[in-house]
Amino acid sequence: MNDELNYQNNPLHGVSLKNLLIEIVDHYGFELLFAYLNINCFNNNPSIDSAVKFLKKTNWAREKVEAFYLYQFKSLPRASDEQFELPPRDRIVPPDQKPGSPAELSLEDADRLREKRTTKAAMYDQEKSQRGGSVRRTAKHTSTAASDSDPWAKWRK
């Protein structure tokens, strides 16, 4: 019973994926959704029906859209680390947190966010290559030696 009450406190409870998309597309539009979420169904011939079809098949994209709905459109505070591990539809929103008005978003903000994510990913890749760099070089050297004796070695499995 208590879980049921908490579950009903989630703004996604009872909202179909199609209705969720209609709400956020009516407010933000496809261009802004693509800019923030970088999901091609909002860029290539966008329509509600094609987006619903794609999102129903693709869990990671659906969860990304649902999280956007919760934290940008409904302006809920960020979930706790424990709740963040769960898919958005399974998260329990504390009773004191009520949905607010949609966040004001712009294409300029989306560009800044994309640059920030790109920089962060590049730093992560650089740190990763520094930690495992010697192993990677050894493997590369081994494959080069193998390809010297057999030019087709890298395409064989």
Q: What are the tens digits of pLDDT across the range 86-95?
A: 899 888 888 8
Contact 10, 92 (CB under 8 A): yes
Residue 137 and residue 78 share a domain: no
pLDDT digits (tens, 9 = 90+) for 57-73: 999 999 999 999 999 99
Residue 128 and residue 82 share a domain: no
Establish if 156 belongs to a structural domain: no
Residue 94 and residue 34 share a domain: yes
Query: How many domains are contained in the chain?
Result: 2
Residue 75 and residue 137 share a domain: no
Domain boundary among 104, 123, 140: 104
Establish if 138 belongs to a structural domain: yes
Which two structure tokens, joined as six digits, stand for 43?
A: 């860029």
Residue 83 and residue 7 share a domain: yes
Using the CB atoms, write b or e for 94-111: b if 16+ within 10 Å.
eeeeeeeeeeebeeeebe
Q: Which phi-psi region, left, alpha or beta, contains residue 45 (left: φ > 0; alpha: ψ -120 to 50)?
A: left
The pTM for the full model equals 0.72
Rounded distance, CA 14 to CA 20, Å? Answer: 10
Full domain range(s) for residue 118:
111-149
For residue 89, give the nearest of 64, 117, 106 by alpha carbon.
Answer: 64
Q: How many helices (H) and strands (E) does the chain have?
A: 7, 0
